[in-house]
Structure 1
């Protein structure tokens, strides 16, 4: 017998719509994807700071931080990467239900897994943001020295070197960090949210 057979989803008396109206915003997942060193975390942090200035309610999920807690023990095999994103997607879904704008900064290399997260929420509640930075630029930054270690064979299954990265072909927002400043990147994302009604809880 499956352990799930006796589990029933309980509806809350307070709805997502009521939470969103109180916060004066439309909840969503801002899903930042890109290679290691592309600028995902930097841009996500800057966007969250800008949203705070606009008095929006947010929470930022970052790859390294999640692996130190919720996903502690998961490795970097294809199977573990899939499970990593599945868990993050379920957490992000709960944040959306709470009425928050959740920012998720993860390499998330596989298109199938990003689409899996997209399907967990309503169509307009998932906004894919491709931090489109060329591999050579990411390698030149290499803030953690990971590319150098990967090329020496010290890190197996490293995205962009020994493991594939499937770039989005239909991301809602495309950020080319080799051509745009941090300020321009933030403005592009915030403008998208404003124009598409995410700053209203109606």
Structure 2
């Protein structure tokens, strides 16, 4: 709830000035997909590539954020919505700082992803659908969560007893069952290059 006694304070340094200093165009890579789909793994691989290119980036991982900022939230529909609302606001701050930001969250509801997009300027939101069949996610089950969900030990688990809204028109469609992590990461970085978020000088430096 917003208070009536707060006023937006304009800062002397603009987002555009901060981005120019970093010689890049800020954007938000919003990774979405089922648990075990490979969101965090791919996002980390992309972040490593961006670092190698000399880009200024940061990864907000779903589990890590729940250890601090969102540590008071559970996994009911209402709490998932609040989880995404908070991370959307944090991501916007990172965008204002001129960074290339990644968020790796299941973010199961299309309406929440749309709200996150609305908070940013046109073109800054890049939906990355990590499209992995649930059968493969269950085979991987790196945290043993599917096993617990099937046994009824975990409630409101996405893909089992809580719904997932499949992205209808993601800017980047990644299939981890058909590509290596390295190939998936390169696909995403190639998109950033093609769309001009990463300057050509960085690419030339890497190739040199």
TM over 0.5: yes
Q: 1:146 to 1:3 in 2, by over 3 A?
A: closer
Secondary structure of residue in 2 paired with 1:129: strand
Aligned to 1:108: 107
Secondary structure of residue in 2 paired with 1:96: helix
Within-5 A mapping of 1:33-182 = 33-182=32-181
Aligned to 2:27: 28
| Structure 2: gaps spanning 5 or more residues | 201-208
Q: Give the TM-score normalised by the residue count of structure 1.
A: 0.97
Q: CA deviation at 1:184?
A: 1.1
Q: 1:181 to 1:15 in 2, by over 3 A?
A: same
Q: How many residue pairs are counted as aligned between the two chains?
A: 200
Q: CA deviation at 1:19?
A: 0.4
Q: 1:2-46: CA deviations, max 9, x gaps?
A: 752221111110111110011010001100000000000000000
Secondary structure of residue in 1 paired with 2:187: helix
Q: Separation in 2 of the partners of 1:102 and 1:153?
A: 35
Q: 1:134-161: CA deviations, max 9, x gaps?
A: 0000000000000000000000000000
Q: Separation in 1 of the partners of 2:181 and 2:2?
A: 47
| Structure 1: gaps spanning 5 or more residues | none
Q: Separation in 2 of the partners of 1:200 and 1:187?
A: 16
What is the root-mean-square deviation of aligned Cα atoms in Å? 1.1
- 1:183 counterpart = 2:182: yes
Q: 1:152-172: CA deviations, max 9, x gaps?
A: 000000000010011100100
Secondary structure of residue in 2 paired with 1:38: coil
Q: Separation in 1 of the partners of 2:134 and 2:95?
A: 32
Q: Give the TM-score normalised by the residue count of structure 2.
A: 0.94
Q: CA deviation at 1:200?
A: 3.7
Q: Where in structure 1 do 4 or more consecutive aligned residues deviate above 3 Å?
A: none
